[in-house]
Structure 1
């Protein structure tokens, strides 16, 4: 029983290792702060707690406000490298009769009657080629919440969207920092304007399991030396 428990624990740990860590580390939502009610109400139409300019575009500016992110990510990278090297060397030494530069123990291996010759040659050649091509395209929309306000006026936003269809759950998470001046009409902003953007899409279900390598196979791949 103890061996079975240890084996089950190892299997659970190996299965947990197959899940990659999340790139989204910040909160994806925040509740707005409770407004402070003025103790004295003069009865006028203007109220400082909820005032808006007459011709002002209503965009996100406070914690808890909503904002629409248009995801427009197109990433492409191409890397090609070629390298080659060639090195050759040779040595030719010949003499007749005695070889004065060599001691007798080595000279006896050469013919004393005919001319003796020593020839050495070496060649070293290397050629290498490599190429990398990567293209990523991600388009969509997601509504996010203003999570925090920075001292310079920038907004930290975060949002999460989950869609479940036929026991298949797709989760989209987004966090980043935006400049309120980049918010366009309609309270939208492109993901290209978001700093420190973290975009994550995860799937849970039979389709995700079919595209994931098994924990036992992953284990053998990690320990095999070839």
Structure 2
């Protein structure tokens, strides 16, 4: 085996090993679950997750709470006897996710440029007559230089996007910020036959944006993170194989 062949074999072995390591991350679990429904994740406290990070945002100065003596009405309450809206850690509220994203962009660019330059050396202290002695062939001083260039660019592009998501999900208040805003987190999993659909919502909300029915629109969530996806046989078929994904990443052309 020549040195060049050995070098090529080493590169192939390295790429094959890298692809096998990527594919082996969850290959065992996928093989073990052949013929079974995708398992649902356990209900866990999102605060104890290793990826959980408390939210820290700029806060205004806290305002003093004014209590009115001999008054049954509580500031911010929408019910005379009790406010049913979520306001403490652990409370549940409903998030109405409604996303209608439409965008159409068209762009066209066209440029054209033509230039031409001519220069003649008819008299140069009489030295123009000596050009025939310097150059191998006679040169016409009246046509000493003639330059020309043409440049043209034509480009166009179009982007059309239409996305619609409408659903509701219950979320839990995981943190109450110093100014009264609340951090919510909700996750929903629905399994139909061999396919699981996952919906995840998190963000920061204001108590004033919660309706009397204890619901809030997704458009009222600051720093919103909405994820909707699936797991199962259909999702696996729609995705490219690990080798193809690795090839698309490392192939330079």
TM score, norm. by length of structure 2: 0.64
Matching residue of 1:120: 147
CA positional deviation for 1:151: 0.4
Matching residue of 1:148: 175
Matching residue of 2:163: 136
Q: Does 1:73 align with 2:61?
A: no
- Find the residue that maps to 1:218 and give its secondary structure: helix
Q: 1:103 to 1:189 in 2, by over 3 A?
A: farther
Report matched runs for 1:26-41 at 5 Å. 29=46
CA positional deviation for 1:181: 0.4
Matching residue of 2:115: 89
Name the stretch that deviates more: 147-156 or 73-82: 73-82
In structure 1, what is the Cα distance between the partners aligned to 2:174 and 2:197? Answer: 23
Cα deviation, 1:70-124, whole Å, max 9, x if unaligned, reads: 0011122333222222221112345779984586256653367xx8534332211
Q: 1:214 to 1:100 in 2, by over 3 A?
A: same
Q: Does 1:63 align with 2:89?
A: yes
The answer to which structure has the higher helix fraction is 2
Is the Cα–Cα contact under 8 Å of residues 204 and 224 in structure 2 kept in the other structure?
Answer: yes
Report matched runs for 1:149-188 at 5 Å. 149-188=176-215
> Can you give the 5+ residue segments of structure 2 that lack an aligned partner in the other structure?
1-12, 27-43, 49-77
The answer to which structure has the higher strand fraction is 1
Aligned-residue Cα RMSD (Å) equals 3.5
In structure 2, what is the Cα distance between the partners aligned to 1:138 and 1:210? Answer: 23
Is the Cα–Cα contact under 8 Å of residues 199 and 228 in structure 2 kept in the other structure?
Answer: yes
Matching residue of 1:45: none
Whose relative contact order is higher, 1 or 2, with alpha carbons under 8 Å and at least 6 apart? Answer: 1
Q: 1:117 to 1:179 in 2, by over 3 A?
A: same
In structure 2, what is the Cα distance between the partners aligned to 1:148 and 1:108? Answer: 89
In structure 1, what is the Cα distance between the partners aligned to 2:136 and 2:172? Answer: 92
Number of residue pairs the alignment of both structures matches? 192
